[in-house]
Structure 1
């Protein structure tokens, strides 16, 4: 029984050691609390993301993710698919057109 427990513990620790947690932050165009909800939800729904917070005042999205599962560009693409552009990936125009008007204001400007 002790051997089984020890083997299980070693296997668990080995699997955890492969995770490469990484934090990044990048600009995401948006305006309001509805944008915040949409942007954060688009990222938090991705397998491998452990945290996502977007600040409407600075337009900066902070993300913690497992870099063995995801590339940073995938995060940009996920946000852009909701109609909010980043400096690396343009917004999806069709998704952008379906946003509420307050979420469209200044959407083409990249600070």
Structure 2
């Protein structure tokens, strides 16, 4: 009887965990990233952000795809993280001080390379 109860509780926990994971959202944000250093910087910064599960920047189209937990963060907070890292996000201009600190190859006036 104890074994059956244990397995029932374990099954309920697994089911609940899967249900929570299904609540994740995905947002795509256009950036001004131009190189692999930009990609690494944006993905690393987003990875340290509360609620962000994963991020991937496609340098070809300059769009970062972010999977996140909407109970812990918002699209606006994700955009703000990108902006405060020194890059534009969906047309919102980058934080100028952060942009000025980027390596010269990562500034938005540089041609993609």
Shorter chain as denominator, the TM-score bin is: 0.7 to 0.9
Partner Cα separation in structure 2 for residue 53 and residue 6 of structure 1: 38
**Deviation (angstroms), 1:88:** 5.3
Choose which of 35, 38, 43 in structure 2 pairs with 1:35.
38
Runs of 4+ more than 4 Å apart: none
Q: TM-score, normalised by structure 2?
A: 0.79
Partner Cα separation in structure 2 for residue 23 and residue 36 of structure 1: 18
**Where do residues 1-111 of structure 1 align in structure 2 (5 Å cutoff)?**
1-19=3-21, 20-87=23-90, 89-106=92-109
Structure 2: stretches of 5+ with no match in the other structure: none
**Deviation (angstroms), 1:16:** 3.4
Range with greater deviation from structure 2 (72-81 or 43-52): 43-52
SS in 1 for 2:85: coil
Q: TM-score, normalised by structure 1?
A: 0.81
Contact conserved, 2:30 with 2:91, CA < 8 A, in 1? Answer: no
Structure 1: stretches of 5+ with no match in the other structure: none
Range with greater deviation from structure 2 (51-60 or 82-91): 82-91
Q: Which is richer in helix?
A: 2
> Which of structures 1 and 2 has the bigger CA Rg?
2
Partner Cα separation in structure 2 for residue 50 and residue 86 of structure 1: 19
**Deviation (angstroms), 1:34:** 0.8
Structural RMSD (CA) = 2.0
